[in-house]
Amino acid sequence: MSLLRTITGIWKSHEETGEKPKLEGLNTRYYKKSREAMIDYVHKIVNNNKLPNWQVTNVDEERGEVVLEKKGVSSSVMVITVFKITPIKSAVDVYCSKQGAFGDLGSSYKNILAFFKALHTEVQPEDQR
Protein backbone atom coordinates (compact mmCIF):
# COMPACT_ATOMS: atom_id res chain seq x y z
CA MET A 1 0.00 0.00 0.00
CA SER A 2 1.30 3.40 -0.89
CA LEU A 3 2.23 6.11 1.54
CA LEU A 4 -0.17 8.42 -0.31
CA ARG A 5 -3.12 6.08 0.47
CA THR A 6 -2.17 6.04 4.14
CA ILE A 7 -2.00 9.82 4.25
CA THR A 8 -5.34 10.24 2.47
CA GLY A 9 -6.69 7.67 4.93
CA ILE A 10 -6.54 10.32 7.62
CA TRP A 11 -9.77 11.79 6.22
CA LYS A 12 -10.97 9.10 3.81
CA SER A 13 -12.84 6.24 5.47
CA HIS A 14 -13.85 4.04 2.52
CA GLU A 15 -12.56 2.34 -0.60
CA GLU A 16 -14.19 0.50 -3.49
CA THR A 17 -13.35 -1.54 -6.55
CA GLY A 18 -14.28 -0.58 -10.08
CA GLU A 19 -13.51 -0.85 -13.78
CA LYS A 20 -10.89 1.91 -13.72
CA PRO A 21 -9.55 2.04 -10.16
CA LYS A 22 -7.24 4.74 -8.88
CA LEU A 23 -5.26 2.23 -6.83
CA GLU A 24 -3.63 -1.00 -7.91
CA GLY A 25 -5.56 -4.10 -6.90
CA LEU A 26 -8.96 -2.42 -6.73
CA ASN A 27 -10.19 -3.58 -10.11
CA THR A 28 -13.44 -5.47 -10.70
CA ARG A 29 -12.87 -9.23 -10.77
CA TYR A 30 -14.55 -11.56 -13.29
CA TYR A 31 -15.29 -15.25 -12.70
CA LYS A 32 -16.57 -18.14 -14.81
CA LYS A 33 -19.18 -18.96 -12.18
CA SER A 34 -22.85 -18.08 -11.77
CA ARG A 35 -23.91 -15.27 -9.47
CA GLU A 36 -25.44 -17.79 -7.06
CA ALA A 37 -22.21 -19.81 -6.95
CA MET A 38 -20.17 -16.68 -6.22
CA ILE A 39 -22.50 -15.72 -3.35
CA ASP A 40 -22.01 -19.24 -1.97
CA TYR A 41 -18.22 -18.82 -2.19
CA VAL A 42 -18.46 -15.59 -0.18
CA HIS A 43 -20.46 -17.44 2.50
CA LYS A 44 -17.93 -20.27 2.45
CA ILE A 45 -14.86 -18.09 3.04
CA VAL A 46 -16.57 -16.27 5.92
CA ASN A 47 -17.95 -19.45 7.52
CA ASN A 48 -14.62 -21.28 7.18
CA ASN A 49 -12.84 -18.39 8.91
CA LYS A 50 -10.69 -17.55 5.87
CA LEU A 51 -11.71 -13.95 6.52
CA PRO A 52 -11.17 -13.73 10.30
CA ASN A 53 -13.45 -11.57 12.46
CA TRP A 54 -15.94 -10.92 9.64
CA GLN A 55 -19.58 -12.03 9.78
CA VAL A 56 -22.31 -12.10 7.14
CA THR A 57 -25.02 -9.71 8.34
CA ASN A 58 -27.28 -9.50 5.29
CA VAL A 59 -27.77 -11.24 1.95
CA ASP A 60 -29.92 -9.92 -0.88
CA GLU A 61 -29.95 -12.67 -3.52
CA GLU A 62 -32.08 -10.62 -5.89
CA ARG A 63 -29.59 -7.74 -5.97
CA GLY A 64 -26.56 -10.01 -5.62
CA GLU A 65 -25.32 -8.27 -2.46
CA VAL A 66 -23.68 -9.74 0.60
CA VAL A 67 -22.99 -7.45 3.58
CA LEU A 68 -20.16 -8.36 5.95
CA GLU A 69 -19.39 -6.67 9.23
CA LYS A 70 -16.25 -6.66 11.33
CA LYS A 71 -16.70 -5.73 14.97
CA GLY A 72 -14.00 -4.65 17.34
CA VAL A 73 -11.84 -1.63 18.02
CA SER A 74 -12.27 -0.42 14.44
CA SER A 75 -15.53 -1.79 13.10
CA SER A 76 -15.96 -1.94 9.34
CA VAL A 77 -18.64 -2.84 6.82
CA MET A 78 -17.99 -4.53 3.48
CA VAL A 79 -20.59 -4.81 0.73
CA ILE A 80 -19.83 -7.43 -1.92
CA THR A 81 -21.88 -7.04 -5.08
CA VAL A 82 -21.99 -9.92 -7.55
CA PHE A 83 -23.17 -8.95 -11.02
CA LYS A 84 -24.55 -11.51 -13.44
CA ILE A 85 -22.81 -11.05 -16.81
CA THR A 86 -24.08 -14.26 -18.41
CA PRO A 87 -25.62 -17.36 -16.79
CA ILE A 88 -22.10 -18.72 -16.20
CA LYS A 89 -20.08 -15.52 -15.78
CA SER A 90 -20.08 -13.01 -12.93
CA ALA A 91 -18.31 -9.86 -11.86
CA VAL A 92 -17.52 -8.94 -8.26
CA ASP A 93 -17.15 -5.44 -6.85
CA VAL A 94 -16.49 -4.55 -3.23
CA TYR A 95 -17.19 -1.43 -1.17
CA CYS A 96 -15.60 -1.24 2.27
CA SER A 97 -15.82 1.49 4.89
CA LYS A 98 -14.72 2.03 8.44
CA GLN A 99 -17.32 3.22 10.88
CA GLY A 100 -16.47 6.20 13.02
CA ALA A 101 -15.45 9.82 12.82
CA PHE A 102 -11.88 9.49 11.60
CA GLY A 103 -10.39 8.04 8.44
CA ASP A 104 -9.37 4.43 8.01
CA LEU A 105 -5.60 4.92 7.43
CA GLY A 106 -5.80 2.46 4.55
CA SER A 107 -7.61 -0.34 6.37
CA SER A 108 -10.47 -0.43 3.82
CA TYR A 109 -7.93 -0.97 1.04
CA LYS A 110 -6.28 -3.78 3.02
CA ASN A 111 -9.65 -5.37 3.82
CA ILE A 112 -10.62 -5.49 0.14
CA LEU A 113 -7.30 -7.10 -0.80
CA ALA A 114 -7.70 -9.62 2.06
CA PHE A 115 -11.22 -10.44 0.84
CA PHE A 116 -10.02 -11.16 -2.69
CA LYS A 117 -7.07 -13.19 -1.39
CA ALA A 118 -9.46 -15.34 0.67
CA LEU A 119 -11.93 -15.65 -2.22
CA HIS A 120 -9.17 -16.75 -4.57
CA THR A 121 -8.41 -19.72 -2.33
CA GLU A 122 -11.80 -21.04 -3.46
CA VAL A 123 -12.22 -19.76 -7.03
CA GLN A 124 -9.78 -18.14 -9.45
CA PRO A 125 -10.71 -15.04 -11.45
CA GLU A 126 -10.50 -14.83 -15.22
CA ASP A 127 -7.69 -12.84 -16.76
CA GLN A 128 -8.30 -9.15 -16.18
CA ARG A 129 -9.72 -7.16 -19.06
Under the banding of pLDDT at 50, 70 and 90, the label for residue 102 is confident
How high is the mean pLDDT of the chain?
88
Average pLDDT for 100-115: 84
Do the Cβ atoms of 125 and 43 come closer than 8 Å?
Answer: no
Please tell me the predicted confidence (pLDDT) of residue 125: 92
User: How far, in Å, CA of 57 to CA of 47, rounded?
Assistant: 12
E strand or H helix that includes residue 66? strand 65-70
